[in-house]
């Protein structure tokens, strides 16, 4: 044991002052360098953002990034310095220049926050795993994406659609009850119950009964929200998600708190996903073919050439289960919200869906549920869906890429190689240079009445699902679920917002930008009762 008498009796105050003084001087020098000498010094942006990552991190934690980033671009223009080595860009050419296939830009280390153990190499070396979303090696990513791409096609999801029928039946039963009782619900929260039932159905073959229960009864959805909140907000902090995913925090959370944070670090356990994989392995190949993503994932090959392990399947299932639920729920609320505020457009959509119902009934007889195939070609439905997601895209935190070695010219600025370039879909989707002078207005007709060149520009510029090789892999599942739910709801019910009309709901950015407090009443439509 150390001899305590050997420790200094008192700390030398002068030495402490000297050390603190030197560290402060170095920090001030670094700040001065970042403001006056850094290669990005001429790029406009808030002064604090130029000095430290902490500025952006604090804005992320504050939960208003979707508004902050739009305001920053309004104030400073298309290229804004949001951190010492990062510029946010809102520019119609981004799909070619930064997110394009051939540009040599790639995802940055910031994505490691989504990796086990914050992606630190020495830890990953001990526990190797490949996860598509944060992967920065282009070849590895290409191989990871290629081996599952056949599972994510629209045809593949249409084949699995039947499996989700019980969820839609639960939806109609529970909303009919609400319509009868005249009770109001927080629709955005309800949409979350629906989408989590859908993603569990498509991925592991059974819904979790959230819609039936009318609540997040096992706390899984809350766990995902907590996990995403910490993981995404710690993106640019030294140590990344390890600040939250570590045994001390888990211990503290269980002993001194509700244990919710500890649960969130291991949220998939609440769905018994490991057990589902094990049970399916025991059953062997499904004689009916691939009925859900889990069936299909067993046919996947490991990129190392070894047989695919249950752990790899678990990682792959994390994509729909973590990336699919909230993003799709936010989209559903963002599409229906403005429609509920505009009776004329709501009725126009109803009329379009009613004519589809007539065709369906003449071909198939009375049928409770419209399928994706029944409604996928409806132009006004498509316009309302695209416009809702344009105005309020689900993911609004920055999507960072590393500038190519030789740098890149963007919006009149030269961005040196190695700089982090990022965009927020929240700012990009409101660009007047893409969507016209009324870009801040919700106007579904822009997708129907624009000339061909404008339409092409808007379709190319729309960033809701990201761009290029790293664009959303699950878009087809999201689209199928959204078309089907929106059309069936609008056909069957009059949805009415019951909150104050000037501020009917709020939103909170936590990577995906959650909509909150959208209070809605349901009323069965007469036309449906007659059929």
Binding region for ligand HEM (CB under 6 A):
132-133, 145, 319-320, 323-324, 327-328, 331, 393-395, 399, 425, 464-466, 470, 472-474, 477-478
Please enumerate in sequence order all residues whose Cβ is within 8 A of that of 286, keeping only pairs 6 or more positions apart, or say none. 295
CA distances from 25 to 21, 31, 134 (A): 6, 10, 37
CB of 491 to ligand HEM, least distance (A): 21
Tokens of 191: 């949409």
CB of 499 to ligand HEM, least distance (A): 23
Indicate the SS3 state at residue 507. strand
Q: Which residue, 50 or 118, has its beta carbon nearer to ligand HEM?
A: 118
Q: What's the order of all strands across the beta sheet hosting 399-402?
A: 79-83, 86-89, 420-423, 399-402, 106-107
Q: Which residue, 211 or 477, has its beta carbon nearer to ligand HEM?
A: 477
Which DSSP helix (H) or strand (E) runs through 404? none
CB of 323 to ligand HEM, least distance (A): 4
CB of 394 to ligand HEM, least distance (A): 4
> Can you list the pairs that 355-359 forms with residues at least 24 positions away whose Cβ atoms lie under 8 Å?
356/487, 357/491, 357/531
Which DSSP helix (H) or strand (E) runs through 289? none
Q: Which residue, 148 or 439, has its beta carbon nearer to ligand HEM?
A: 148
Tokens of 386: 């695209």
Q: Which residue, 332 or 497, has its beta carbon nearer to ligand HEM?
A: 332
Q: Which residue, 191 or 473, has its beta carbon nearer to ligand HEM?
A: 473
Q: Which residue, 228 or 357, has its beta carbon nearer to ligand HEM?
A: 228
Taking CB atoms, the residue at the shortest distance from ligand HEM is 474
CB of 466 to ligand HEM, least distance (A): 3
Q: Which residue, 28 or 140, has its beta carbon nearer to ligand HEM?
A: 140
Q: Which residue, 167 or 179, has its beta carbon nearer to ligand HEM?
A: 167
CB of 401 to ligand HEM, least distance (A): 8
Indicate the SS3 state at residue 462. coil
CB of 98 to ligand HEM, least distance (A): 11
Beta strands in 365-465 (DSSP E): 399-402, 408-410, 413-415, 420-423
DSSP codes joined into one string, 168-229: HHHHHHHHHHHHHHT-EEEHHHHHHHHHHHHHHHHHHS----HHHHTS-TTSHHHHHHHHHH
Q: CA-based Rg of the chain, rounded to a whole angstrom?
A: 25
Q: Which residue, 92 or 262, has its beta carbon nearer to ligand HEM?
A: 92
Which DSSP helix (H) or strand (E) runs through 63? none
Sign of the alpha-carbon torsion through 55, 57, 62, 67: positive
CB of 245 to ligand HEM, least distance (A): 20
Judged on CB neighbours under 10 Å (0-12, 13-18, 19+), 403 is: buried
Q: Which residue, 31 or 158, has its beta carbon nearer to ligand HEM?
A: 158
Neighbours of 491 (CB within 10 A): 20
CB of 473 to ligand HEM, least distance (A): 4
CB of 164 to ligand HEM, least distance (A): 13
């Amino acid at each position: 044991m150390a001899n305590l008498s050997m420790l200094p009796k008192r700390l030398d105050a002068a030495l402490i002052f000297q050390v603190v003084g030197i560290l402060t001087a170095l920090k001030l020098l670094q700040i001065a360098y970042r403001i006056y000498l850094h290669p990005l010094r001429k790029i406009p942006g808030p002064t604090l953002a130029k000095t430290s990552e902490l500025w952006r991190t604090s804005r992320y934690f504050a939960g208003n990034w979707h508004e902050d980033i739009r305001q920053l671009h309004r104030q400073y223009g298309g290229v804004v310095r949001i951190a010492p080595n990062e510029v946010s860009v809102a520019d119609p050419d981004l799909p070619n220049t930064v997110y394009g296939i051939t540009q040599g830009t790639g995802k940055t280390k910031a994505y490691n926050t989504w990796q086990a153990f914050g992606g630190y190499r020495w830890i990953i070396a001990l526990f190797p795993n490949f996860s598509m979303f944060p992967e920065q090696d282009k070849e590895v990513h290409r191989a990871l994406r290629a081996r599952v791409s056949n599972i994510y096609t629209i045809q593949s999801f249409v084949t699995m659609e039947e499996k989700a029928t019980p969820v839609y039946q639960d939806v109609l039963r529970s909303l009919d009850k609400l319509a009868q009782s005249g009770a109001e619900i927080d629709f955005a929260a309800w949409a979350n119950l629906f989408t989590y039932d859908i993603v569990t159905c498509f991925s592991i073959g059974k819904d979790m009964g959230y819609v039936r229960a009318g609540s997040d009864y096992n706390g899984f959805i809350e766990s995902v929200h907590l996990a995403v909140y910490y993981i995404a907000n710690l993106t640019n902090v030294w140590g990344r998600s390890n600040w939250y995913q570590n045994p001390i925090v888990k211990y503290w959370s269980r002993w001194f708190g509700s244990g919710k944070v500890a649960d969130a670090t291991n949220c998939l356990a609440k769905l018994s996903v490991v057990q589902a994989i094990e049970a399916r392995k025991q059953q062997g190949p499904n004689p009916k073919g691939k009925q859900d993503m889990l069936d299909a994932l067993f046919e996947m090959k490991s990129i190392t050439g070894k047989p695919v392990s249950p752990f790899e399947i678990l990682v792959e299932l994390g994509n729909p289960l973590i990336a699919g639920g909230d993003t799709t729920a936010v989209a559903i609320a963002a599409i229906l919200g403005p429609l509920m505020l505009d009776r004329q457009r709501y009725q126009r959509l109803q009329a379009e869906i009613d004519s589809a119902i007539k065709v369906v009934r003449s071909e198939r007889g009375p049928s409770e549920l419209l399928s994706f195939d029944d409604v996928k070609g409806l132009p006004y439905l498509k316009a309302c869906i695209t416009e809702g997601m344009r105005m309020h895209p689900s993911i609004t935190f920055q999507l960072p890429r590393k500038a190519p070695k030789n740098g890149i010219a963007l919006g009149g600025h030269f961005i040196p190689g190695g700089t982090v370039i990022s965009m927020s879909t929240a700012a990009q989707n409101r660009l007047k240079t893409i969507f016209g002078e009324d870009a801040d207005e919700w106007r579904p007709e822009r997708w129907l009445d624009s000339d061909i060149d404008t339409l092409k520009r808007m379709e190319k510029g729309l960033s809701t699902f990201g761009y290029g090789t790293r664009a959303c892999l699950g878009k087809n599942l999201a689209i199928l679920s959204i078309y089907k739910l929106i059309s069936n709801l609008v056909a069957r019910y009059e949805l009415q917002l019951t909150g104050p009309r000037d501020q009917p709901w709020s939103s909170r950015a936590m990577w995906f930008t959650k909509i909150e407090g959208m209070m809605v009443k349901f009323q069965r439509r007469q036309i449906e009762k007659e059929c």
